Amino acid sequence: MGWIEFGPDDATTARIEALAEQIAHHSHLYYNEATPEISDAEFDALWDELKSLDPEHPQLRRVGAPVPPGSVKVDHRFPMRSLDKATGDDEVAHFVAETTAHGRRFVAQPKLDGSALSLEYRRGRLVRAATRGSGERGEDVTSNALRIPNIPDRLPWEGDCHVRGEVVMHLDVFRKKYADIAPNPRNLAAGSLRQKNIEAGKGDASDLAFHAYGVLFVPNDEKHPDSPDALQFENDSQSIAWLRENGITPAEEVVVEGTDDDDTTQALLVETKRWTQGRDSAPWEIDGVVFKLDNLAKRELLGETAHHPRWALAWKFPPEEATTVLLDIDWQTGRTGAVTPVARVAPVVVSGVTVENTTLHNVGEVERLGVSIGDKVRVVRRGDVIPKIIETLGPAKSSDLQGRFHADGESFTGELPTRASPHIPEACPECSTELKLDGAFLRCSNLSCPARLARSILYWCRALEMDGIGEKLVDQLCEAGLVNTIPDLYRLTSEQIQGLERMAEKSANNVVTQLDATRELALDTFLSALGLPGIGPELATAFAGEICTMEALINLNEDDLERLVAIEGVGQTVAYSLMEGIADRSEMLEDFNQTLTITDVAKTEAPSGPLVGLSFCITGTLTRPRKEIALQIKAAGGKVVSAVSGKLDYLVAGENAGSKLEKATRLGVTILNETEWEAMLQP
C-alpha cells in the first residue's frame, strides 16, 4: 500500500474503524481515568496510523471524552484573573511608579474585546478548552474550540501547558453574517463558544479566531511523566515568540521601555494614542491597551490580588457617552413584524454626532433598564454602532434640557415631559393586531400590516437596486391603496404614479422602467429580496441552491426538512423559518409566479473528487504556475489555503521552498513534491 489510497478497500475501512475505536478507548483511560493500559509510544503509533489512513477522521479531533459545552465545569489549574483598569494618563503614571522597582520594560498588547479562553495542552495535544467562568472554574468548551480554525489541536512541543487568550469575531464576518441577530461581536463570540448545537441563526465557532496573550507551563512535579520539562523564559516577550513558533496566534505585541518613570509613562501613553487611532481600522473590536511587566521573575515578586495581577494594567478607551433626557418612546413595526421601541431624547452630542433618536432594541430591554419618560439617561455610542441608552439616572430637571441644539444648529425648545412609565403596546401601532411576545420582542403577526408591507416593499426594492423607489414613494403608494402586496408593484402604470404628489411624468416613467427591469430574476435573488424573517441573503442563496425552482419553493413542505437541514450552516430553526415564511405567503407566491419570470438556479453540488476534505498549500518553484495547480486541486474537490498551520493536510513544495516548508516540517504536515502530488490525483 502506498502512503495514501482513495476509495479505501474494505480491509482499510475496517482498520480505520478499529483504530478509531482503540484511540477512543485509550484516550478515555488516559485522560479521564488516569489508568492507561498502553504506553504513550503505542498510543502515538495508533494515532499516527489513523492519521495516515484517514487524516480527517473525527476521532483525531476528539480528545478525552467529548462533552457537550456547558455541561462540565473545569477547575482552572492556574486561576484566570481579571485586570486592573485605568482610563486616565495619571493612572498609567501611577502604575509605572508602583512597578518601577521591578523594571521599566513592558509588553503592550491591544485589549481584545471578546471571550477569554484557556487551552490545556498535554503532551502537546489539546485536551481541554475552558471559558473563564468565575476565574477559578469555567466551562468545558473543547468541542467548539476545536472548530476555531487557528487553534491547533497539537503543538510541535510535546509538553504540558495552558495557553490563555481571547476569542474574537472578525468585524467583517460579524457585519456580513450576524449583525441582525446579535448586539455585538463580543456577545456572539461568547455565545458561539458555549452553544451546544451548531446552528445557523446562532454564531458558528468556525467564524471565530483565537489570539493568545500568555502561556503557563505545568510544573515538573505535576506534568505528565513522558512530557518534556516545563519551559522557563526570562521575559514574557520570549514566551509570546515561542507561542508564535508553535503555531499559535498571539495578540499583536510591542515591547516598550523607558529610561525613567516619566519617560516610561510617556512611552506607554504613545501606545494608548497609537491604538486610539488604530481602533477603527482593527479587524476586531478592541477596548483598550494592556500593559504587562515583561520580566517574569519580577511578576512573581509583585504577585496578585484576588482580582488582578499587580504587574498588569488595562488602559481602556474613554467611553463615548453623554447624558440627556428621555422625552418619549415610540413603537415601530418592522418588516418582520418585530415592534421595536425608539427613544426620543433631547439632542445630545456623542462622539461628535448629534443624537435625537436612539434604539431601545426591544421590550425586554425597556423593562430591564427600568426607564421612565422624563428620566435623565446615559447614552453611549461605540464604534460605528447606533447610539443606545444604557442606564437611567432618575428624574431629570429642567436644567438638564438647557443649552441643547439640534443638528442644524437650531436651539432646542422642548419642555421637560411629565414623568411616566413607558407605555408598552398590546396592539400593533399600525394595524391594531394583538401583539405576541416572542422572546424579548413584541411581534405583529399580520402579514398585511401596513408598516410591515411598506418595509417589505422597500426591502424588495433595495435588494433589487431600484433606487428610484424610496421610503416616501412607498408610503404614498401604500396609503393611496395602489399597492397592497409586493406583486402589485408590477401592475402599476405611469399614470397612476403621476397621480401621486410630487411625481412628474419623467420620474413616474423611471419607476416603471426600473420595475420592468426586474420582471425576470433568478430564484436566489427572488428569495433574498423577499426578506423572510430570519432568512438573510446568504441563507437565501444557500436555500435556492438546494430548492432550485419556483415550483419547488411553492410546494415546500415537511418532507423537505431533511434536505434543508443537510445544507451547510442550516439548522432546524432556520429551516422552519423558511417553511413557515413560504406557507404564510402562498397566495403571494402564486401571484409572483404569474407576474414575474423566476428562473431556476443550478443545484449547488457537494464538492466531489479524490481530494474532498483535504487541504493543500503550495510553495516554491514548480514546473507549472501555482495557479494552475490550485485550480486542479479545487477541481478534484480539495481546498487550497495560503498559510501553513497544524491543520494543513499537505504542503506541495517545489524548488527553493522557504519558510513554509520549514514550518510545515516543524508542524508535522505531510510534504509532497510535484510527482507525489500528481499521483494523488489518480483515481
Q: Please report, as ranges, the residues that interact with ligand IVH according to CB under 6 A.
A: 81-83, 109, 111-112, 116, 132, 166, 213, 251, 290, 309, 312, 314
Q: How far is the CB of 208 from ligand IVH (least distance, A)?
A: 14
Distance of closest approach, residue 63 Cβ to ligand IVH, in angstroms: 24
> Would strands 441-443 and 597-599 be described as parallel, antiparallel, or unpaired?
unpaired
Annotation says 298 is catalytic: no
Taking every pair of C-alpha atoms in the chain, what is the biggest distance, in angstroms? 88
Q: CA–CA separation, 47 vs 41, rounded Å?
A: 10
CA distances from 603 to 223, 546, 567 (A): 53, 6, 12
Beta bridge partners of 598: 521
DSSP 3-state assignment of 426? coil
In this structure, the strands spanning 615-619 and 639-640 are parallel
d(CA 386, CA 343): 12
Q: How far is the CB of 85 from ligand IVH (least distance, A)?
A: 7
Q: How far is the CB of 185 from ligand IVH (least distance, A)?
A: 13
* Amino acid residing at 215: V
Question: Which residue type is seen at 344?
Answer: R
CA 671 to chain centre: 33
Return the DSSP state at 30. I
What is the C-alpha separation between 204 and 474, in angstroms, rounded?
37
Question: Which residue's beta carbon is nearest to the bound ligand IVH?
Answer: 116
Residue among 347, 372, 370 nearest 358 (CA): 347
What minimum distance in Å lies between the beta carbon of 83 and ligand IVH? 4
Nearer Cβ to ligand IVH (314/657)? 314
Residues 655, 620 contacting (CB under 8 angstroms): yes
Residue 2 neighbours by CB under 8 Å, 6+ apart: 679
Cβ at position 210, least distance to ligand IVH in Å: 12
CB of 304 to ligand IVH, least distance (A): 7
CA gap 362, 557 in Å, rounded = 32
CA angle 296, 120, 19 (to 5 degrees): 145
Measured CA to CA, the distance from residue 63 to residue 28 in angstroms comes to: 8
Task: Classify residue 573 as exposed, middle or buried by CB count within 10 Å of its CB (0-12, 13-18, 19+).
Answer: middle
Q: Considering the complex, state which of residue 185 and residue 337 has its C-beta at the smaller distance from ligand IVH.
A: 185
**Residue closer to ligand IVH (CB basis): 138 or 337:** 138
> What angle, rounded to 10 degrees, do the helices at 537-547 and 523-530 form?
140
Q: How far is the CB of 278 from ligand IVH (least distance, A)?
A: 14
Residues 523/544, Cβ–Cβ less than 8 Å: yes
The secondary structure of 380-412, three-state, reads: ECCCCCCCEEEEEEEECCHHHHCCCECCCCCEC
Residue pair 575/583 in contact by the 8 Å Cβ criterion: no
Helices 523-530 and 450-463, packing angle to 10 deg: 140
Residue 224 or 316: the one with the smaller Cβ distance to ligand IVH is: 316
By C-beta, is 290 or 661 nearer to ligand IVH? 290
Nearer to ligand IVH, 252 or 560 (CB): 252
643 C-beta neighbours (distance < 10 Å), count: 9
Work out whether the CA dihedral 504, 506, 510, 516 comes out positive or negative.
positive
Are the C-beta atoms of 269 and 94 separated by less than 8 Å? no
CB of 314 to ligand IVH, least distance (A): 5
Question: In the bound complex, what is the minimum distance in angstroms from residue 195's beta carbon to ligand IVH?
Answer: 19
Write out the H or E segment, with its range, that includes residue 58.
none
Given the complex with ligand IVH, which of 282 and 554 has the nearer CB atom?
282
- Choosing from 51, 85, 111, 506, which is the catalytic residue? 111
Nearer to ligand IVH, 77 or 491 (CB): 77
Measured from the CB atom, the residue of 111 and 128 that comes closer to ligand IVH is 111
Whichever of 77 and 423 has its CB closer to ligand IVH, that residue is: 77
Cell of 198: 451548531
Give the catalytic positions in this structure: 111
